[in-house]
Amino acid sequence: MAEDLKSVVVERTALGVYQIRNVRGGAITLYVNDTDFTAVELLLGAIGACTINDVDHLTSRRAEPESLSVEVSGNKTTDEGGNIMRDVTVTFRAAFPEGPEGDAARAALPRAVAASHDRLCTVSRTVQTATPVTTVIAPD
């Protein structure tokens, strides 16, 4: 089994303000104001980013999408064990051009979504060990 260690550093910059940095120099700030991302939103975003990347690569081999997006939502709840996200849903929206290439991309979309969900997306597969993640393909 091959392993590839991934890590980030989260640093406090002020009370309630944190910066996440990766080894390549990227940085994201959390909790500065009402428009910044919360940690839960980053979790949902990480699921979406991972799976849209998989689906994009698999469908774009057939046709360049006219649009491709994913919405990730879930219910933040508190149970006897504490706070947790439940019922995470990943909803894809995709439009491909008319013609044979677009038809091929549309036909590949369900397989690409399933491949990402079942084996490719590290983030959702990791989360799924504790919280089921449901994928949905929305109509164009």
Percent of the chain topping pLDDT 70: 98
Give the mean pLDDT of 37-62.
94
Instruction: Give the residue from 72, 80, 6 showing the smallest Cα distance to 40.
Output: 72
pLDDT of 9 > 70? The answer is yes
Distance CA 79, CA 6 (A): 30
Instruction: Give the residue from 106, 123, 23, 32 showing the smallest Cα distance to 72.
Output: 123
User: What is the pTM (predicted TM-score) of this model?
Assistant: 0.85
pLDDT of 119 > 70? The answer is yes
pLDDT of 131 > 70? The answer is no
Distance CA 92, CA 69 (A): 6
| pLDDT value of residue 138 | 87
